[in-house]
Structure 1
């Protein structure tokens, strides 16, 4: 068996050595695992070497990726990559100003990914327009870009993802996005846009659109006309502070939108009827605005809404406020709302509710009995609240098995876990937990998964409750005490 393994190893090494590196030192070639796809890739690494020119490639070898980022390459000349075939090139952080029309000659049918972030490029870029196989183009932080000119990307017929973030863009010429029939993902994060550009209407296959951190203050009717396939829209960190800035028909035509982000937008109210067109919306984020109330009708039309985030607002909770979504909403985030108790009356009307995230609230440090009485949820998040103790009857009435997030509090004990069938999961990471035999007993019942780290006694400090070392030491230290075995619960 050993000799067979040795033969296989020699064959593998011999086959890998036949793939010659197509570039001279100081560049290096190696096989690396892509952290996103987990596939083995053959990489040419010329990053951060102070290069002023693209190195000469020889041998005609096919490589998966060429890294030229972090150099001082101002210009990519015609024929710079003749002698190599690759699917991806990273030219980020070079101060690039010019990419000649024939820069990628020979790669027109193989190049699918180009990273050009942190450079000084302006549009159009002649060297890109022949790349009919290109799928991903990253132009993040090219601060001289500013304007998207007519047909800036014309010819990139396979492009699916385009990143134009942080490039001080504030102007679009008519026809700016012509010739991009396959585009599904467009990112304008951190620019200077004051409106939704009507030039987007030709991108009929667009699915994700990001306007996060711009200067948009108004959205007129039919602002997203021509984008029927849009599934995610981010409008967060803009300037929607005044009344009437979002038209009732602003989202008309977005029949397939599923995710909408409006956090940190200075919204003082939910514009009437604005969401009525979004029949398929599942996730609405309105956190960290200036909302003080949600009235009946504000969420009308959101017939598919399952997740609502209204954290960081001073919302006055009252019965009926969630009536419009009471049949579908199963997850609500109410973090940092200054709450001193759960708003039971408002939440118990949401019959579909399963999960409440009330982290960063001002609840008592010693949680009282029947803390969530009246609710039938099965997951509760109470993180970052400096809780010091919990009673055994605190969570009475909640659905079993309860999933409980208690990370980053001041809990020392898990004595509140007396019913071993009440909890399915408890996370107590970043708490000063004393790991005693009761903690060990919970793990042996095999009903509750505990996540956390022991703070004391000294022999257990730093041990993960789920670690083999904790289990071994606790088994020895608790051997003369009554330890339950696996417990059978009605829900198991």
Structure 2
């Protein structure tokens, strides 16, 4: 592929890719779609040269963790949905200065630190639905001043924390797509978990059994196509 400098769009989907070799993509690439493969990691040398890349789709793979601190300076859209991600290393997106859309839905994230987000706080769209969040620290919300759209359904929110999250979204005029709003209004799925604490604390933890029970109670994801 290094011999095709004019190539700007590359789609390699629905294969069984398990790894990528360094230097396999030309630096002029602007759109790269690798969804529906079997990737569990990507070494730094594969993506780091792609200084012009604007959109990267890594959804429907097998990533369990993400660390991209080397940055992709032109990237505007990153899709990591439908993986097995349980942790995102701090500063992972710090050098993604142009990043506007970040999709992390359908993973197993229990916490998200404000330290993962890019310098400049450029994100306007953030998808977090169908993870394992019980709360989001206030500092995380405050570090995203340009955020305009978010999805939060399908998480086992501690009920007091959900009240705070939805209140913050209303206060800052941050919208939820219609499908995410419907999740909370149609009454067919659990929307939060009752805990012993009447206030929102950041110490709440779900057992695996409780999480599995919560997940099994969920109806069809109304935002699946986002």
Instruction: State TM-score, norm by structure 1.
Output: 0.35
Are 2:153 and 2:183, in contact at CA under 8 Å, matched by a contact in 1? no
Segments of 5+ residues of structure 1 without an aligned counterpart are 1-79, 251-270, 290-309, 314-492
Q: Which of 86, 89, 96 pairs up with 1:173?
A: 89
Are 2:114 and 2:139, in contact at CA under 8 Å, matched by a contact in 1? no
Cα shift readout 1:275-301 (whole Å, capped 9, x = no counterpart):
5632x3466754344xxxxxxxxxxxx
Are residues 156 and 311 of structure 1, via their aligned partners in 2, closer, same or farther at CA, if it must alter by over 3 Å? same
* SS of residue in 2 equivalent to 1:117: coil
**What are the within-5 Å matches in structure 2 for residues 183-262 of structure 1?**
183-202=99-118, 204-240=121-157, 242-246=158-162, 248=164, 250=165
Q: Distance in 2 between matches of 1:167 and 1:237?
A: 15
* SS of residue in 1 equivalent to 2:60: coil
Once superposed, what is the RMSD of the aligned Cα atoms? 2.5
Higher RCO, 1 or 2 (CA under 8 Å, sep at least 6)? Answer: 2
Show the counterpart of 1:380. Answer: none
Show the counterpart of 2:20. Answer: 99
Q: Which of 32, 37, 47 pairs up with 1:128?
A: 47
Are residues 158 and 141 of structure 1, via their aligned partners in 2, closer, same or farther at CA, if it must alter by over 3 Å? same
Are 1:130 and 1:155, in contact at CA under 8 Å, matched by a contact in 2? no
Q: Distance in 1 between matches of 2:169 and 2:81?
A: 27
Cα shift readout 1:321-362 (whole Å, capped 9, x = no counterpart):
xxxxxxxxxxxxxxxxxxxxxxxxxxxxxxxxxxxxxxxxxx
* Structure 1 residue 150: Cα displacement: 5.3
Cα shift readout 1:120-168 (whole Å, capped 9, x = no counterpart):
321345221101110010001111x1111251xx241100000001110
**What are the within-5 Å matches in structure 2 for residues 132-147 of structure 1?**
132-143=51-62, 145-147=63-65
**What are the within-5 Å matches in structure 2 for residues 393-404 of structure 1?**
none
Show the counterpart of 1:116. Answer: 34
* SS of residue in 2 equivalent to 1:202: coil
What is the number of residues matched between the two proteins? Answer: 184
* SS of residue in 2 equivalent to 1:222: helix
Are 1:93 and 1:117, in contact at CA under 8 Å, matched by a contact in 2? yes
* SS of residue in 2 equivalent to 1:287: helix
Q: Distance in 1 between matches of 2:183 and 2:3?
A: 52
Are residues 142 and 155 of structure 1, via their aligned partners in 2, closer, same or farther at CA, if it must alter by over 3 Å? same
Cα shift readout 1:52-107 (whole Å, capped 9, x = no counterpart):
xxxxxxxxxxxxxxxxxxxxxxxxxxxx4415621101112222233222212xx3
Q: Distance in 2 between matches of 1:281 and 1:177?
A: 22
Are 2:77 and 2:101, in contact at CA under 8 Å, matched by a contact in 1? yes
Are residues 84 and 173 of structure 1, via their aligned partners in 2, closer, same or farther at CA, if it must alter by over 3 Å? closer
Instruction: State TM-score, norm by structure 2.
Output: 0.71
Higher share of residues assigned strand: 1
Segments of 5+ residues of structure 2 without an aligned counterpart are 189-226
